[in-house]
Amino acid sequence: RIAEQAHTNGEPGVLFLDAMNRDNPVPHLYELEATNPCGEQALGPYENCCLGSINLSRHMMIDEEDNHKVDWSELESSIATATRFLDDVVDANAYVPAVPQLRESAMRARRIGLGLMGLGDVMYHLGIRYGSVEGQEFASQMMEFIRFHTMRTSIDLARERGPFPAIAGSKYDPDFMQWTPPVPILPHVTNFGRPDIDWKSIIDGIKAHGIRNAAQTTIAPTGTIATVAGCEAYGCEPVFALAYVRHVTQDEEEFDLEYVSPLFQQALDECEIDAQEREEIVKHVLQTGSCQTIDNLPDEIRNTFVVAGDLGVSEHIRMQAALQSFVDNSISKTINAPAATTVEDVEQAYREAWELGCKGLTIYVTGSRDKVVLETQKTAMSKNGFEKPKTLWLEPKKPRGQLLIGKTYRLGTPLGTTYVTVNENGDHHPFEVFIHTSKAGSETNAVSEATGRLVSFILRLASPVPPRERLAEIVNQLIGIGGGRSLGFGPNRVLSLPDGIAQCLDDYLSESHVEEIDMSDIPSDSQMTMRIGDLCPECGEAAVVNEEGCRKCYCCGFSEC
């Protein structure tokens, strides 16, 4: 049911899975969050997240043979600095004074979440295919390195400043140690030049000094900050596309920016491909965002420069699971699924993620949303060219109370005396309008009732525009509409039934009273010779009256007997 709902809605959601109940062959779904893809932090009451991300693409070096390698020493230094910085932020935060529990919860656990961004950039540099077994192992080794040195720095902080206050009885309690070092889901057999890691030193350090932070690592989405930092890959995600369109809104103006991967262009420049071929390759990538179907591209480029849409759902999930082994909070990761994804595919993805130990999962089916920040030209063109008709359902959202208080206005109009009732629904906000003119069953009364229903419908719609402002706009639309004849003179002149209704509503908004028109005040030479009756189906004048068993129009002579 959950899988079907997620597929039908076509919106990203986060499904938290019970990672502890592994003896049960069926996933135990203990919490379903209708949220955005940022499901990296599960917090207790009044807790907050204090997150930071290390830009891995800034921790690369070139050796003597012009090969790209990770600068592990510089990365270790950045991890230590970032951990200390985040712990300082816990103290420096300006917590809301009116809610003291916020500060108390933060100080009690001193939870931080150090993560990464630009993982996909580093894999492009190293020639590692994102999603492959090698890619999974590299991600696992990278996150283990970050977790290890984050914990080591947190132990140093505990020695200097003391452990987090709630350490007693927790899994980090030095007297009753329950914490065990994390274990990778894939064996670490490849040598990426990473220094050795000694988890026993972490255990000994906690037993001796405790640890400063109850939680240490998180992988957040880093969309905006990664863009500012110049990363092509956000968070732990693969690169979205080698070329795409970014939809930007600035000062209420929308415009599109085209983007082409600088790393991909650099790789093309380093190959022996002539200028014309390179231009054709870039044109193809601009359309699809991928280079996988370009035959004349070298295999090493095609195998390395994969993007989110080139990966299978299982490859996405296994990359997340490889990282999750060394993340004690959770991970924000989008599983990009093709447009043809079925309900069964979504269900299988949730099961596989649960079995591999993922704490949260986001599935996005390509093309399932009308508006996105990033999309390829191909996706944008397909939506614009084959867009389904949109159905806009406008239903009143405000419920009607049992008793409403209102005001009734009486006004003479060219179609007869009109009664306009405005009911309010608290705070003197207009809620509904009833309009009655002539007797029930007549065309004039039908038009009056229809106008009242439309005005009421507009007032009851859920909208950021206040009801009084909406009613004022209705007055602007109706007032001044002329008909076949008018009634009265000067400020009391009523041009038509809509004009009279507008005058009543305007008087309501200005809290003035409608002065009843006294026909005796109108000079005899200006009295209308035509009788006021129902609307004539032939000429439209309000001159149809019942007379001698027939309905006769005194304007055009139409009769209905």
Catalytic residues, by residue number, are: 36, 38, 40
- Alpha-carbon distance of 137 to 122, in angstroms, equals 14
Q: Using alpha carbons, list the distances in angstroms from residue 64 to 68, 190, 195.
A: 10, 21, 19
The total of other beta-carbon atoms located within 10 Å of residue 317's CB is: 26
Instruction: For residue 257, give the 3-state DSSP assignment.
Output: strand
β-pairing, 68-70 vs 374-375, is: unpaired
Cβ 122 vs Cβ 139: under 8 Å: no
Contacts with 523 (C-beta within 8 Å, 6 or more apart), sequence order: none
What residues form DSSP beta bridges with 411? 418
Task: Give strand ranges (E) for 98-166.
Answer: 113-117
State residue 523 phi and psi, 5-degree precision.
-55, 145
Residue 351 CB neighbour total at 10 angstroms: 16
The whole-angstrom separation of Cα 282 and Cα 274 is: 12
Residue type, 48: N
Helix boundaries (H) for 10-63: none
Query: What's the DSSP call for residue 174?
Result: G
Q: Mention every residue, 6+ apart, whose C-beta is less than 8 A from residue 460.
A: 396, 397, 398, 400, 431, 432
What single letter denotes the amino acid at residue 164? Answer: F
